[in-house]
């Protein structure tokens, strides 16, 4: 299998182990818990969190690092509403673990100005 047939994905909400959408990662490889550099903010959308880039007031966001195959990535893109422009999959910078490969995450594309800020970790298991 070619080295580029897998993508490293940082998940921070409902896709984490033990949460309501974790089953979408059941056939993928969990690598480790992970922590971003302090350039991101989580907002509360009710049943799920929204991650946005924030280099001024950002925090270190806690999540998980996964190795996902092409088919799994297509499923995650559907689940996260990429084609509906709810989220976009983009590169994210991790502080821990240190990885030399590109890591991606799903960033929220809608207006967050009226949403409450969360802390550094999504804990609501809906």
With beta carbons less than 8 A apart as the criterion, state whether 57 and 117 touch. Answer: no
Integer Cα distance of 53 and 88 in angstroms? 12
Q: Render pLDDT for 60-101 as a digit per residue (tens, 0 to 9).
A: 999 999 999 999 999 999 999 999 999 999 999 999 887 777
pLDDT score for 116 = 96
Q: In the prediction, which pLDDT does 19 show?
A: 84
Residue 80 bears catalytic tag: yes
pLDDT band at 103; cut points 50, 70, 90 = very high
Strand ranges inside 37-84, DSSP E: 40-44, 49-53, 62-69
Read off the tokens for 61: 């966001």
In which element (H, E) is residue 70 found? helix 70-79
The answer, as to whether pTM is greater than 0.85, is yes
pLDDT band with cut points at 50, 70 and 90 for residue 26: very high
Percent of all residues in the chain with a pLDDT value above 70, rounded to a whole number: 95
Q: Residue 4 pLDDT > 80, yes or no?
A: no
Extents of the domains making up the chain: 3-108
Please tell me the CATH code under which domain 3-108 is placed.
3.10.490.10
Q: Which two tokens stand for residue 107?
A: 């960033």
Q: Find out whether the peptide bond into 97 is cis, omega within 30 degrees of 0.
A: yes
Residue with tokens 């897998």: 6
Read off the pLDDT band of 124 (50, 70, 90). confident
Choose the catalytic residue: 64, 74, 80, 90: 80
Work out the mean pLDDT of the chain and round it to a whole number.
91
C-alpha distances in angstroms, 116 versus 26, 28, 56, 119? Answer: 31, 32, 17, 10
């Amino acid at each position: 299998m070619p080295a580029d047939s897998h993508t490293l994905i940082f998940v921070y909400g409902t896709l984490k182990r033990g949460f309501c959408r974790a089953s979408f990662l059941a056939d993928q490889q969990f690598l480790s818990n992970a922590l971003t550099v302090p350039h991101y903010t989580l907002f509360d959308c009710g049943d799920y969190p929204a991650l946005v880039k924030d280099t001024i007031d950002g925090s270190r966001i806690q999540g998980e690092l996964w190795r996902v195959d092409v088919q799994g990535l297509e499923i995650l893109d559907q689940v996260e509403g990429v084609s509906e422009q709810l989220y976009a999959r983009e590169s994210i910078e991790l502080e821990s673990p240190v990885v030399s490969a590109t890591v991606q995450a799903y960033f929220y594309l809608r207006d967050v100005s009226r949403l409450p800020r969360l802390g550094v970790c999504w804990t609501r298991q809906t």
